[in-house]
Amino acid sequence: MDWYQNVFDLIDFRSFSNLWFWIALAVTWSTASHWVLGVPWDMAVRAHKGKNAQSIIDFEDMVRINTNRILFIAHESGLLLSGMVAFGMTVLVLLGFVYDNEFSQAVFLLGMPLTLVGLLSVRTATRIQAEALSGAALIKRLTRHRLIIQVIGVVSLFMTAMWGMYQNMNAGVLG
């Protein structure tokens, strides 16, 4: 019986008191900030320094490939994806905040800001392609995109931490 208790303590669905949730949240926002439009940020830094012409070419090629991929997915299945994401977020809101399921609250607080990042990525990819950006203008656009992602991440982390502390204090009072 002790073994089962250890397993269920490790896989605790009270997300806000679980260390694994906070680790996953930190890794998610770190990854979202590093991979801007699917391009690793260190490539942008190397291209910005401009010491090697090949690094600029590689960066522009990587951005072109990823913007084409993002826009292809948006054009081919954007409506279906929008409907599925809206359905999923609605289910999470209902389960989490109407039926008071903490796991659904945690997934919503992780997923909703990432949905905003996804929409922002489609918008940025559209602008990059429409304006045929390259060189310093492309780096500037991706820098702005990354900054907005970081702001969304900071606000998301703050709101999740506040909601998590509120939930943990209520669990302490009620439990």
Tens-digit pLDDT profile for residues 96-116: 999 999 999 999 999 999 999
Euclidean distance between CA atoms 98 and 95, whole angstroms: 6
133-161 pLDDT, tens per residue?
Answer: 999 999 999 999 999 999 999 999 999 99
31-84 pLDDT, tens per residue?
Answer: 999 999 999 999 999 999 988 889 999 999 999 999 999 999 999 999 999 999
**What is the pTM for the complete model shown?**
0.87
* Helix and strand element counts for the chain (H, E): 6, 2
Q: Nearest Cα to 169, choosing from 59, 17, 10, 4?
A: 17
- Has residue 169 got a pLDDT over 90? no
